[in-house]
Amino acid sequence: MDSSSEAILEFNQVDKRFDDKAVLSQLSFSLSAGMVVGLLGQNGAGKSTLMRAALGILDIEAGEIITLGEPAAKLSTEAKAKIGYVPQQPFGYEGFTVASALELHSSFYPEWDKSLELDWLSRFGLEAKQQVQKLSVGQRQSLALIMAMAYRPQLLILDEPVASLDPIVRRQFMSDLFELALESGSAVLFSSHITSDLERVASHVALIKQGELVLFKEIDAMREEVTLVQLAENQPVPDGVRVLNRNQQQVLVDNADQVEIAGVLNKTTLNLEQLFMELHR
């Protein structure tokens, strides 16, 4: 996709504090059409905070967030109708049936696609007559996804949406994500601890550690550029090498392919899960 195209969501030097604790610091990156960005970080790293700030649910202390061309803190109703969001926690609609919940929900979105809704209901195995409060956690997640996606939002923000879905439904859901991203030209920001899902689905990965963006790259570039290097005893790390983490002579390096490093005993490429573990050792 054209990376020079206008950003759908842009974080610029964002700082956020809870009391005295910095939750996001100097965080910058942006999403444009067609991007599916996997957000990876430990619990408490700031993923949900970042997402909620993008939606204007939370204020930030410094920097700016531009969502669909507007400041996130003052989103217009029109902009909000083009955003889909699935939060981590289960949502309301207790006392509703699936059908009546969807009817109320869809009334807020002029672009709602009824046929898409029906497709997904049958795919997720949800019945219109079921009571929302009697749904399983996975079924609620499915319903939340339908509610967030059936109007083909331009920006879709998903906070660990698939943890309770079975692998088959998860795969189908991933195809839906691609369709949204590529055919409707939307951008997707997606957090999950299931790294194998992120490897399949993400075009880019954003890695957050203690509120800081440690890495933001195309997923293929990440696998090519980030390596775990075992250095010989007393061998220093040369200048110009971006060190992401270090345990004695075991160094996690960002641009290993661009810089010549002397005294390398061993070099390993990492998958996302290994990278995540190495980053937090």
Partner 1 sequence: MLELIKVNPSSGEPIYRQLHEQIVRLIVGGQLPVDQVLPSVRQLAEHLAVNPMTVSRAIQQLVEQGWLERRRGQPTRVANKQNAPTTSSLQLLAPQANDLISQAKQLGISLDELQVLINQQWNK
Could you list the residues that contact partner 1 (CB under 8 A)?
A: 1, 34, 36, 171, 174-175, 178, 182, 195-196, 199-203, 219-220, 223-224, 265-266, 268-274
**Shortest gap between Cβ of 90 and partner 1 (angstroms)?**
27
Number of other CB atoms surrounding residue 194 within 10 Å: 18
Nearest CA to 15 among 4, 7, 23? 23
CB 16 within 8 A of CB 60: yes
Nearer to partner 1, 191 or 195 (CB): 195
Nearer to partner 1, 27 or 145 (CB): 145
Nearer to partner 1, 81 or 270 (CB): 270
Nearer to partner 1, 133 or 268 (CB): 268
Nearer to partner 1, 39 or 132 (CB): 39
Distances (CA, A) of 178 to 173, 193, 209: 9, 19, 27
**Shortest gap between Cβ of 187 and partner 1 (angstroms)?**
13
Nearer to partner 1, 1 or 128 (CB): 1
**Shortest gap between Cβ of 193 and partner 1 (angstroms)?**
14
For CA atoms 50, 26, 200, 179, the dihedral sign is positive
Look at residue 6 and give its three-state secondary structure: coil
Nearer to partner 1, 111 or 220 (CB): 220
**Shortest gap between Cβ of 210 and partner 1 (angstroms)?**
25
**Shortest gap between Cβ of 273 and partner 1 (angstroms)?**
7
Nearest CA to 266 among 255, 250, 254, 279? 250
Distances (CA, A) of 127 to 116, 150, 169, 209, 249: 15, 17, 16, 41, 57
**Shortest gap between Cβ of 171 and partner 1 (angstroms)?**
5
Spell out the SS3 assignment of 61-125: CEEEEEECCEEHHHCCHHHHCCEEEECCCCCCCCCCEHHHHHHHHHCCCCCCCHHHHHHHHHHCC
**Shortest gap between Cβ of 143 and partner 1 (angstroms)?**
23
For CA atoms 135, 141, 146, 147, the dihedral sign is positive
CB 7 within 8 A of CB 175: no
Nearer to partner 1, 118 or 270 (CB): 270
Distance separating alpha carbons of residues 245 and 256, to the nearest angstrom = 13
Nearest CA to 82 among 64, 92, 70? 70
**Shortest gap between Cβ of 63 and partner 1 (angstroms)?**
29
Token pair for residue 17? 């504090």
